[in-house]
Amino acid sequence: MNNEQLKIPQATAKRLPLYYRFLKNLHASGKQRVSSAELSDAVKVDSATIRRDFSYFGALGKKGYGYNVNYLLSFFRKTLDQDEITEVALVGVGNLGTAFLNYNFTKNNNTKIVMAFDVDKAKVGAKVGGVPVYHLDELEERLHDEISVAILTVPAHVAQAITDRLVKKGIKGILNFTPARLNVPDNIRVHHIDLAIELQSLVYFLKNYPSK
């Protein structure tokens, strides 16, 4: 996102890809207009929040008319830089890493894993999902300036050391799937995704906040 988009609340920014995905589906089905209520039902975000999110970008729709799907799709494509491909590196080609490589964000035409790193001799030199796997020792040599994002799917005890190397090579964003809480400079963005904690949290809410 450019500097203008950085002024919007982070919670809004996180919902933009969700809106974009639904709008792509609407466009593919031939739908021309959509109301905030329809959006709300599809993405499970209340309509007041959707209207507030959209208001940060000016008048995107008219009351009683709804939103023009083609216009919204074009607007959010530009907002999310969908016309520019973000190249991503993945470190750790275990079960989770392999799944990422095979999936490779096929529904997001602006994000692509272009290289992976591991220490397993059986994996190094091969391709997984069409993505070349290099030895971790080659990280500094292989990473280039066009890669600003890395996905970390390595054992927790090596996560910080690898993160330090990624930061030194100019990586600006890390999607961390390890339990380790990484220490990085203030200008580096880290999103922690701990699947075990998310599952534990889900079970807790199911037990303590049952649906009515």
Which structure tokens are listed for 149? 């994002």
Residue 165 is predicted with a pLDDT of 98
> Cα separation of 115 and 93, whole Å?
11
Residue 135 φ then ψ, to 5°: -70, 145
Residue 1 is predicted with a pLDDT of 44
Would you say 92 is a known binding-site residue? yes
Residue 82 is predicted with a pLDDT of 61
Which structure tokens are listed for 116? 């992976």
Residue 6 is predicted with a pLDDT of 45
Would you say 96 is a known binding-site residue? yes
Strands in 33-34's sheet, in edge-to-edge order, are: 33-34, 66-68, 61-62
Task: Report mean pLDDT in 10-residue bins for the chain, 212 residues.
Answer: 57 86 87 88 89 77 73 81 82 96 78 95 95 98 95 97 97 95 95 88 84 61
Would you say 93 is a known binding-site residue? yes
SS3 65: coil
Looking at the domain that runs over 86-197, which CATH code has it been given?
3.40.50.720
Residue 64 is predicted with a pLDDT of 60
Would you say 58 is a known binding-site residue? no
Q: Where are the domains of the chain?
A: 5-77, 86-197
What is this structure's pTM?
Answer: 0.69
> Are the C-beta atoms of 34 and 26 separated by less than 8 Å?
yes
Residue 27 is predicted with a pLDDT of 86
Would you say 66 is a known binding-site residue? no
**Fold of the domain built from segment(s) 5-77:** Arc Repressor Mutant, subunit A (1.10.10)
